[in-house]
Amino acid sequence: MTHTLRIKVRGYHCDFYGHVNNARYLEFLEEARWGFLEDGLDLAEWKARGLGFVVTEVTIKYRRPAGLNAVLEVRTRTGSLGPRGGVILQDVVLVESGELAASAQITFAVIDLARGKAVPLDGEIAETLGRSLPPADGKDAS
């Protein structure tokens, strides 16, 4: 499943050079991930069960600048699910040209909120994640 979110670049998103500030991309990516997770999972139910999602690593590759009034589309999809965590892949595309402005790989874990420790992605958790957040290509991500 691929989730898309459109964002119009505002003045406060830009740096001194008129480009989207690198830190703003993190906010855009986070907003899109929330939508992605909400589309596939009942996050309130996960929280009630004492489980939460945490980002453990972010890798962003900036490819070309986006400026004031540009419309960006953030495309979010599951990359892989493993025994201790998973990867979400995100692309930020300049809508007008179709060019890739940035790409990101977000590594996450599911944690036990009370203990603050990662839980294995097996059994019901793995089944729910695999069913709710299938990889964009439809193949098994494990």
CA distance 131 to 140: 10
Task: Record the tokens describing residue 117, joined without a space.
Answer: 């420790």
- Could you tell me which of 126, 141, 9, 21 has the C-alpha nearest to residue 88? 141
List phi, psi (to 5°) of 124: -60, -35
Task: Record the tokens describing residue 141, joined without a space.
Answer: 């991500």
- The question of whether 140 is a catalytic residue gets the answer no
Task: Record the tokens describing residue 13, joined without a space.
Answer: 């998103």
Alpha helices in 17-59 (DSSP H): 22-40, 43-48
Query: DSSP states of 73-109 as a string?
Result: EEEEEEEEE-SS-EEEEEEEEETTT--EEEEEEEEEE
Q: Which residues are catalytic?
A: 15
